[in-house]
Structure 1
């Protein structure tokens, strides 16, 4: 169950990050975030956090 929640959170972060990036760059309109440099910077950071979470979740237990 924990793995499913982490996967869902990772995907959500990736989607939100990409959307925020596109809004910040002005490709997606209709909000106050459109054309804002702040969201063009925060979006990739959030998307990278989502990708990192997915990587750690799918990597499984780390055996030493």
Structure 2
């Protein structure tokens, strides 16, 4: 018996799902940040954000935030 549970019991559902929200949101932030970066740099045309320096700056920051959120999600999953 470990932590009040025997080995025969299945893992609790809340532990099995821990970290998935952070991983999903982090991945979404990384993808959006990458798209914003290439739009801001002018590689993707047909958008209001094309060739706008602010998006070339905000994009990489958003990618970094997404990577931190992914890292936190992976740590939460590893602790279960």
Query: What is the TM-score when the length of structure 1 is the normalising length?
Result: 0.87
- Which residues of structure 1 form unaligned runs of 5+? none
Q: How does 1:1-64 map to 2 (within 5 A)?
A: 1-60=17-76, 61=79
- Which residues of structure 2 form unaligned runs of 5+? 1-16
**How far does residue 31 in structure 1 lie from its aligned partner after superposition?**
0.4
Moved over 4 A (4+): none
Query: What is the TM-score when the length of structure 2 is the normalising length?
Result: 0.71
